[in-house]
Structure 1
Amino acid sequence: MTPFLRSLPGTTALVLDSPHSGTDYPDDFAYACALPILRRAEDTHVEKLYDFAHGLGAGWVEAFFPRSYLDANRDTTEIDVSLFDESWPDAVSTDTKVMSKVRLGKGLIWRTTDDGEAIYARKLGVAEVQARIARCWEPYHAAVAQAIDSAHQRHGYSIHLNCHSMPAIASSHATEFPGEAHADFVVGNRDGSTSSEPLARLVCQHLQGLGYSVAYNHPYKGVELVRRYGEPLQQRHSIQLEVNRKLYMDEQTLAMHEGAVPLKASLQSLVQMLLATDPRTL
């Protein structure tokens, strides 16, 4: 097993992954900007919010590396060429929507924090970024793909929940909607392209029934992990779920507060609902 992730096999059709909750900062990242600033980029404590899931039979994949070091929810072509001291030799995306995140400093390798602060005081070498891809991105995606393939082979369908958290208020360089107050949850399936609409609506309705405010495909539609593995016509359903950090933690100290307990109970209710749902019947 790679030291950069945890992958726990499931027995059900459900797979969860947390690509952004990693807190193991590699030695070759020590020259970046101050650690307290980088830590605000994490989907802090998301792995704790779902620590019950594997016990219920869901597959679980979790990144240990921080998203500011390498963002597993980006494609390897989402490269900011301005980061390098030499020409990047591999493919670079030409998709204008995809590259809008790169321009914000949020490509595969982040250039800036959510508040626009530069992460690096020097240019990067091609070899060091290629090494990050080989050590982190490739094993992570292989683990998610294998977990989903296994779930689909067992049951004839799979449901993939891509687990994230978001700040209460959008930062200046985090999305294209800076300053927007977020709902309690954002459910994303890239406008119906990565899961069936009935399944995504069921997730929204379940959370609303628990008393939460829920937004659908705004401002987060889902990115690479649902795009790459969601094929609803093949009964492979991928949904990105963002939970508002104010529900469970202090965003300044990063400490969990008492709200984490009822939130975790609600997430367990959602997971149990998905375990009992066959999307082919919706």
Structure 2
Amino acid sequence: MSSYVRALAGSTPLVLDSPHSGTTYPEDFGCVCALQVLRRTEDTHVEKLYDFAPALGVAWIEALFPRSYLDANRDLTEIDESLLDAPWPGPIATDPRVLSKVRLGKGLIWRTTDEGVPLYDRKLSVAEVQGRIARCWQPYHAAVAAAIDAAHARHGYSLHVDCHSMPAVASRYATDFPGLAHADFVVGDRDGSTAAPALSRLIGEHLQGLGYDVSYNHPYKGVELVRRYGDPARQRHSVQLEINRKLYMDEQTLVLHEGAERLKGHLRSLVERLLATDPRSL
């Protein structure tokens, strides 16, 4: 396993992963953006919100590298060639929906922060991007795939929650909806294609019952980690869950506030609900 990926095996049908909470900034990053600005691109503290899960038998996979270095929730074809000093030797995405994120500077390798601040004053070599893929993307996806396969083999089904956080208000270069005030939670299943809709509703209704407002598939439908591993027809259910950062931290200082422990308790109740749910009976 890569030193940039933390993976804890589980015994239950549930797998959690956090691809964007990493804070280990590699020496070869070569980024010119100030660290305090760069750190606001993280899903900061998401790993702390779910730190109870392994003790419940839940598999846990966590990227230790930052998403601005390489985004594990992007496909390998989401290459921004404007960043490179030579043509990319592999396939490049052509789907306009995928390319919209690349144009925003949010491909596999980020070009800008969510506020449009450039990360580099140089071109990246093809070799260094390939190195990031080998050290970060490939072992991360291998760990997620192995955990889901193991859960499915043990129980005949798997439940996978891709764990994220989002700013209270969408930044200028973050999504196609700049300035949007986000709900407390966004449940994404790519319009029912990566999880049984009844399972996504169960998650949303559980959170609503705790007093939160919940949006489904807007503005986040779920990206590569649910697209790649969700297959509800084969009882492999993957959901992306976004948490509004205002619920647990100061977005400017990145310091946890008093809401974090309350939120963690509610996330634990959600995890326990999922552990008690067989999607085959929904």
TM over 0.5: yes
1:233 alignment partner, SS class: helix
1:42-53 matched pairs, under 5 angstroms? 42-53=42-53
Number of the residue aligned with 1:97: 97
Q: Give CA deviations for 1:155-208 in whole Å, capped at 9, x if unaligned.
A: 000000000000000000000000000000000000000000000000000000
Q: Give CA deviations for 1:34-56 in whole Å, capped at 9, x if unaligned.
A: 11111000000000000000100
Q: TM-score, normalised by structure 1?
A: 0.99
> What's the offset of the Cα at 1:85?
1.0
Q: CA RMSD in A?
A: 0.6
Number of the residue aligned with 1:228: 228
Q: Give CA deviations for 1:18-73 in whole Å, capped at 9, x if unaligned.
A: 00000000000144311111100000000000000010010000000000000000
Segments of structure 2 that go 5 or more residues without pairing to the other structure are: none
Following TM superposition, where does structure 1 have runs of at least 4 consecutive aligned residues deviating by more than 4 angstroms? Answer: none
Number of the residue aligned with 1:63: 63
Aligned-residue sequence identity (percent) comes to 72
Q: Output the CA distance in 2 between the equivalents of 1:111 and 1:13.
A: 37
Q: Output the CA distance in 2 between the equivalents of 1:217 and 1:2.
A: 32
1:40 alignment partner, SS class: helix
1:126 lines up with 2:120 in the alignment: no
> Number of residue pairs matched?
282
Q: Give CA deviations for 1:214-260 in whole Å, capped at 9, x if unaligned.
A: 00000000000000000000000000000000000000000000000
Number of the residue aligned with 2:114: 114
Q: Give CA deviations for 1:122-163 in whole Å, capped at 9, x if unaligned.
A: 111000000000000000000000000000000000000000
Number of the residue aligned with 1:242: 242
Q: Output the CA distance in 1 between the equivalents of 2:269 and 2:31.
A: 42
Conserved? CA contact 2:31–2:119, under 8 Å: no
Number of the residue aligned with 1:273: 273
Q: Output the CA distance in 2 between the equivalents of 1:65 and 1:32.
A: 17
Number of the residue aligned with 1:74: 74
1:88 alignment partner, SS class: coil
Number of the residue aligned with 1:166: 166
Q: Output the CA distance in 1 between the equivalents of 2:244 and 2:164.
A: 9
- Give the AA of the match of 2:101: K
Number of the residue aligned with 1:36: 36
Q: Output the CA distance in 2 between the equivalents of 1:63 and 1:23.
A: 9
Segments of structure 1 that go 5 or more residues without pairing to the other structure are: none
Number of the residue aligned with 1:263: 263
